[in-house]
Each structure stands twice: as C-alpha cells, then as structure tokens.
A and B are shown apart, each in its own frame.
Chain A
Amino acid sequence: MPVQPITVSELTKRISSALADPVFQNLAVEGEISNFVHHTSGHMYFSLKDAHSRIKAVMFRSRNRLLAFVPKNGDTVIAFGSLGVYEPNGEYQLYVEMLFAQGVGDLHLAFEQLKAKLEQEGLFDSARKKPLPALPRKIGVITSPTGAALRDIIRVLTRRYPGVQVLVFPALVQGEGAPESLIKALQLAQTSDCDVLIMGRGGGSFEELNAFNDEQLARAIARSNIPVVSAVGHETDFTIADFVADLRAPTPSAAAELVVPLQEELQRAVAALERRLAGALERKISAERRFLRRLTSSAALQRPDYRVNQLRQRLDDLLTGLTLHSTHKLALHRSRLGSAAARLETLSPLNTLGRGYAICSDEQGRVLRSADQVDPGDTVNVTLYRGRLLCRVEGRFGHERDEAGGA
C-alpha cells in the first residue's frame, strides 16, 4: 500500500499541536538542573534530569528576572511551565514560567496551581480590569493600621495631593485569619464612598505574603465594584492578588503614586485650559469686531444720510435738467411760433389788399374768381385793404385768363 509522504514541517506542526494538549500544559516538573547557560540575551537554557531521563528547558528573560535565586547546575528544582516544540530544531522543551529551589514546600506549588486555575477562568484578563478614576474622591486603603505600608501610602498621597481624602480599612495582613480579614475589609469598602482601593502590605517572606495568595480573596477582588490596586511587598514579589487586581503596584508607595495625580499639575492643567478659553473668546470677539469695522467703514454705514443725500442730489440734478429742458423747449416753440406767424403774415390776404388788390364776393359771400359767376344787375361786395364797397354789376366781359389758361 503506497504511503503519502508528508513534509518535515507538517510533521513538526502535528507534534506541536499534540503538545498543546492540556496534559502537557501548566506542569510542575521536579528535576536537577544541568547544562545551565545564562545567555547574553538574558534567557536561560538548561536541562532538567533525573536518574533515567532528561528534558530541555528554557526560561525567558521576562520570567527569569523575577527569580528569587540564581539557578546553577546540580540544583534540584521544581519548574512550572508548559511543553512546546522549537520547530527549527524539532526539539520539544519545557518553557519554564517559574522556578523554585527544591524544599520550598507546598506553598509555591499551591500558588502556581491556583494561578494557572484562575488564569484559565479569565480572572486575570485585562478586559475585565477597571480603569482608575483620574481624580479619586476618596481613597480606601486596606492594610494593617500599624504597618509601615500605611505610613508610606499616606505620606505619598498627602505629598502629591494635599487635599486627599483617605479612609483606612484595617485588616490583618499575615497569619491566621488574614485572608478572611482582608475579604471583610474589602466588602466593607464596597459600601463606602471610596472610588478606588489600595490593598497591600510591606515586604516579607513568601509565607508572610501568602495571605494575598488566597483563592477566596482573589475572587473577592475580582467581584469588587471599586477598582483595586494591589500593593504587596517589594517589586519582585508577585501574589495572586496582584494578578487579579485592576492594577498592580510594585510597592505600597508606588500604589499611592499611581492612585492620585499631582494636585499642582492638575491645577496648572485647568489654569492652562482657562487661559486658552479666554484667549479663544478674545480672538473670536476681535475677529467679529474686525468684521464689524469692515462693514461700518463702508460709505453707506459710515454716514447713514449718505444715500439720502445722494438721492437728493440726483433729484436736484433731474429737476435742473427738467427745467433746462422745458425752458429750452419753450424757446424752441416760441421761435417756431414766431417764424410760423411770419410766414402766416406773408400769406395773409390783408397784405395783398394792402398792395391795392381787392376781393370781390357775391351776396352769399362766395369769392368771385370768374365774371360768369355773376350777371349784370347783381350786387357784389368788394373788400378793400380798408373798408368795403357794395357795388352793382353794370356789365360783364370775357375771360382772357381762362382762354389763355385753357389753350
């Protein structure tokens, strides 16, 4: 039967996904360190072995810088971590998260197991972390009322923010009953008007800090409606409370610094905004004023009667024009009338009469132009230049003019 070959990479991937099985994850492995190399990159490479077997292991710098001791060949340790494949070499190895020298006891084991469990439950997810208020109204501090941590916290809070409001919730921070006491204080704080909580204590041994590794406390922190800042021990100490808190502060003093802003800084920030506010309004007003000035400097608004005067002047012009025009026209008419009259004068029969002519008309007043218009014996009127004659026709003679004209 022919076998379909697969690539080396394909095989490696299959191994890799096989090792992702929970069986190979979150392990605690006991063994002796050998071939230990602390590389210049900061990562640690070594093997874990027992009488019969060995397995490669790597602990990256980000993890090993939290180590409380420097591992060396021959140390018997418990390594917490998961198996994985380094694909370029086809090597499976233990990716170590935490390392404890043998003999530290069950506390560390319990710690790593609880951490893995809560992590799997999503209690450490950054998505469920609550943001801290920018300016807390009141800060709740859950710690021992007699510890140095409280003193440190209050000193830093009042230095940064002289008007700070603090309410301390006393709690046992180590020993028997400490987790219960911390949980009770945390629950009490929920009913207060605090809007941020600092929970912590000063440095101590792993055992002394162990109250902050309590599962019920972790769940109480996760349930808190008020953001919780954990502040347990020194920078190198990590507790379950640190992982579940909304923010981990490396020390109690650091927690105080993270929780309150510098009062002066905020006052300066508000003052700066105030100046910008006033400046922006001033600029707006002067811009509007410039705009207004531009408008008012236009001739129309500069002198409100400008337009009226302009119109008045135009009216005057028109009237003057009209008068001139009329006078002119009148003169024209007058002169035309004069010449018409003169012409009329020349046409007037009176002038002709003046030269000695007469107008003869019959009794009906008809002007006589021909001798045959009357008979002898008729009376005719003769109009002279001055006066009138009534005459009788004595005789009638031919009409030379007619004969001459009719030829």
Chain B
Amino acid sequence: MSEMKLEELKFEQAMARLEEVVRLLEQGETTLDESLALFEEGVKLARFCHEKLDEAEAKIEIMVKEGRIEPLEVEEE
C-alpha cells in the first residue's frame, strides 16, 4: 500500500487507508517514530481527500459526436 503513489489512489482507497491509519494510531501500540510516520501519512491522505472533495466547480459536458465534447447548458425550470 505504502508503495502506491498517493496520486494514483482513488478517493475511497485514500479514505480506507486514512481510517486504518487513524485506527492504528488510536490503538497506541506503535512506537513514537512509527506514530509520527503514521501521522504524516494520515495528514497527506486527509489533504488528498480534501483536495478531491474541494473541486468546487461543477463541469457538465456533452459529447456532441465521437471525440467532440462541448459544455452543456442546463436551463433551470
């Protein structure tokens, strides 16, 4: 898992690992060095998750024909 690059992670994998890291840290059976490493990993994962979640602008597009994508205006009622 740790061999896997963060950018290659899917959100749910990052969340799952973050939950695992928190659980390991909460169990408190790791050494201080291990705890610090876990914390560091957790912070990175949380940042990654936030980044994934914080994409603020919705992007609605339509495939007009094969290989041609245009923005789609959706009129509100």
Q: Which A residues lie at the B interface, using CB under 8 A?
A: 133-135, 145, 150-151, 154-155, 157-158, 161-170, 188, 192, 263, 266-267, 269-270, 273-274, 276-278, 280-281, 283-285, 287-288
Contact = CB atoms under 8 A, between A and B. Distances in A.
A277 B25 contact: yes
A157 B15 CA distance: 21
B22 A154 contact: no
Contacts of A281: 25, 35-36, 39
Given A134-B12, A163-B54, A273-B46, A145 B26 contact: no
A188 B39 contact: no
Given A163-B55, A170-B63, A267-B50, A151 B74 contact: yes
A284 to B, nearest CB: 5
Interface string B7-25: 0001110010011011001
B60 interface: yes
Contacts of A168: 60-63, 72
B15 A276 contact: no
Name the residue in B62, B64, B69, B76 with the highest tally of chain A Cβ atoms < 10 Å from its Cβ: B62
Contact of B53 (A151, A266, A274): A266
A280 B28 contact: yes
Given A269-B15, A277-B46, A280-B25, A166 B61 contact: yes
Contacts of B43: 274, 277
Contacts, number: 115
Contacts of A263: 53
A280 B21 CA distance: 10
B30 to A, nearest CB: 8
Contacts of A145: 62, 72
B11 A134 contact: yes
Contacts of B77: 151
16 contacts: A134-B11, A134-B12, A135-B10, A135-B11, A154-B74, A163-B56, A166-B60, A168-B60, A169-B63, A170-B62, A263-B53, A270-B50, A273-B42, A273-B46, A276-B26, A280-B25
B3 interface: no
Contact of A284 (B10, B35, B42, B54): B35
A281 B42 CA distance: 11
Given A158-B58, A266-B49, 8 more contacts: A133-B12, A162-B58, A163-B53, A164-B59, A168-B63, A170-B62, A267-B50, A281-B36
Contacts of B75: 151
Contact of A270 (B25, B30, B53, B74): B53
B69 A167 contact: yes
Interface residues of B, number: 41
A117 B13 CA distance: 38
Given A163-B53, A267-B53, A284-B35, A277 B62 contact: no
A150 B42 CA distance: 39
Given A166-B61, A188-B66, A277-B25, A135 B12 contact: yes
B32 interface: yes
A163 B18 contact: no
Given A133-B12, A162-B58, A273 B18 contact: yes
Contacts of B56: 162-163
A396 B75 CA distance: 171
B73 to A, nearest CB: 11
A283 B39 contact: no
Contact of A154 (B25, B46, B52, B60): B60
Nearest to A276: B22
Nearest to A281: B39
B62 A270 contact: no
Nearest to B30: A284
A192 B68 CA distance: 12
B74 A167 contact: no
B15 A277 contact: no
Given A168-B72, A274-B46, A287 B59 contact: no
Name the residue in B57, B60, B75 with the highest tally of chain A Cβ atoms < 10 Å from its Cβ: B60
Given A168-B62, A168-B63, A277 B28 contact: no
A166 B58 contact: yes
A167 B59 CA distance: 8
Given A145-B62, A267-B50, A277-B22, A284 B32 contact: yes
Nearest to A148: B77
B34 to A, nearest CB: 10
